Structure 1
Amino acid sequence: MFTLFHHAFCPHSRFVRLILGEYGFDVRLVEERVWERREAFLALNPACVTPVLFAEGMPAIPGAGIIAEFIDEAYGAEMEQKRLMPASMGERIEVRRLMAWFNEKFFEEASSPLVTERIYKRFMNEQDGGGAPATDVIRAAKTNVRYHLTYIGWLARTRNFLAGDRPTYADLAAAAHLSAIDYLGDVPWSEDDAAKAWYARVKSRPSFRPLLSEWLAGVPASRTYVDLDF
């Protein structure tokens, strides 16, 4: 069994949870509020970011990208047709490019500011950066979501899945970040039908069910969040 230090609305944690769900691995979830900077968690990951994965016989594995690579190296080959990283080098490069796009660029420009301002700040003390949401930050992030959604739509119109013919880490990374902000109602799905149709397919996969069942007290989910036919 794996142990995952995560936060339910951390997009990177959601990405790793989707990977583990796709492969059918058992995982024990431990919520980590990184802004509290617990000494025990800092000892595991001095960067103090989630997720961090524990696997038997291994040191702590920090960060979504490192965890994804570890899982592929350790278990990918035995997954055969379910493998989330393609076999050919060219296809692997494309998957890694898109993983970086969503886990770095999308995160920095859209999902991180929205989740931080609208969720994390509710639970943070003032000295940790808590307080009222910054409306200018939210406004800029929502604008950025639009052009990312357009890019996803272009990929979805030209390919069966984002990186090629079958689901890969690229789809899970994109869907993980979108799911966190879809909970908040911050994805303008009406602006791109191809992106919406692609997300509906990914969202309908069994690995998504645990994410869709999670709710945040005081912050109701958007109308589209759990609706598979939104």
Structure 2
Amino acid sequence: MCLAEKKLEVELVEERYWEKDADFLRRNPAGKVPVLRIDDMILTESSAICEYLEEIHPTPSLMPRDPQERFEVRRLVSWFDDKFHDEVTSNLLYERVNRKIQKAGYPDSGNVKAGAKAIKYHLDYMAWLLDRRRWLAGNEMTLADFAAAAHLSSLDYISDVDWNRQPGVKDWYAKIKSRPAFRSLLADQVAGFPPPAHYADLDF
């Protein structure tokens, strides 16, 4: 999303990181995606990659200039990539999709229930933020919005987001969803998991 928003061309390569391929582990010993290669330089960790791209391609800006506002963006990126990921994404997406792809057995119903409960809290928190701001971290769209949208898009793909719970969050996601940078993501599909009809519908 960050690359697309900045209109930077990139070749996307599927990486089955769970297979722990030796060549992949040489590129990123942490065994995680994404990994971005620029010439002979290897970049890892999504937030670090996005901030690097922001520094070398500052237009359009996805980070505010004010230090306090920059802190809020970083705080929310961490919120979604750590707390939201651990409490929601790993319990819903990983159980329903990743286990099947990785041939790791059936979903753990306890984890799925925990994720379904936790996402309500996070949607309510997002609504609280959006009641006070135009976007999640302030009055301009930032990397915080992209971090949140990335998680919610993957969960929306498996119909695990109750968009009727918080209309303000639904409106926010519709704005993100309608951006040209988001369209390639909406066109992507996971083999064996067809998305619901509303997934790529810009008006839900």
What is the TM-score with the length of structure 2 in the denominator?
A: 0.96
Partner of 2:37: 54
- Say whether 1:33 aligns with 2:16: yes
Partner Cα distance (1:113, 1:140) in 2: 7
Aligned pairs (5 A) from 1:142-161: 142-161=116-135
Trace 1:123-134 onto structure 2 (pairs within 5 A). Answer: 123-125=101-103, 130-134=104-108
Cα distance in 2 for residues equivalent to 1:224 and 1:156: 23
> Which digits, 9 at most, give the CA deviation of each residue in 1:129-151, with x for residues without a partner?
x1111111111111111110111
Which residue of the other structure, out of 57, 74, 78, is the alignment partner of 1:75? 57
Q: Is the 8 A contact 1:53 1:61 kept in 2?
A: yes
The aligned residue for residue 90 of structure 2 is 112
DSSP-derived class of the 2:36 partner: strand
After superposition, the C-alpha distances for 1:72-104 in whole angstroms (9 at most, x for unaligned) are: 22222xx1xx20011111110111011111111
Look up the SS of the partner of 2:18 in the other structure.
helix
Of residues 188, 193, 197 in structure 1, which corresponds to 2:167?
193
Paired residue for 1:43, among 10, 22, 26? 26
Code of the residue aligned with 1:40 in structure 2: it is D
Distance in 2 (CA, whole Å) between partners of 1:23 and 1:193 is 29
- Are 1:218 and 2:196 counterparts? no
Distance 1:25 1:107 in 2: 27
Structure 1 gap segments, 5+ residues each:
1-17
1:26-45 deviation per Cα after TM superposition (whole angstroms, max 9, x unaligned): 01011111110000000011
- Cα-to-partner distance string for 1:22-63 (whole Å, 9 max, x where unaligned): 0000010111111100000000111101101111242x1111
CA shift at 1:226, angstroms? 1.2
Counterparts of 1:145 and 1:41, CA distance in 2: 32
Measure, in 2, the Cα distance between the counterparts of 1:164 and 1:189: 22
Contact 2:178 2:202 in 1 (8 A): yes
Give 1:133's aligned amino acid: P
Q: 2:77, 2:147 within 8 Å by CA — same for their partners in 1?
A: yes
Secondary structure at the counterpart of residue 61 of structure 1: strand
Segments of 4+ in structure 1 off by > 6 A? none
Contact 1:185 1:223 survives alignment (8 Å): no
User: What is the rounded CA distance, in whole Å, between the counterparts of 1:27 and 1:151 in structure 2?
Assistant: 34
Cα distance between partner residues in 1 of 2:116 and 2:162: 9
Q: Is the 8 A contact 1:185 1:224 kept in 2?
A: no
Aligned ranges for residues 163-182 of structure 1 at < 5 Å? 163-182=137-156
Structure 2 unaligned segments of length 5 or more: list them: none
In 2, Cα distance between equivalents of 1:152 and 1:224: 21
* Per-residue deviation, residues 183-216 of structure 1 (Å, max 9, x unmatched): 0000011110111111111111001101111122
TM-align CA RMSD: 1.1
CA distance in 2, matches of 1:41, 1:152: 35
Q: What's the TM-score once normalised by structure 1's chain length?
A: 0.86
Give, in whole Å, the separation in 2 of the partners of 1:124 and 1:50: 15
Question: What's the offset of the Cα at 1:112?
Answer: 2.2
3-state SS of paired residue (2:63):
coil
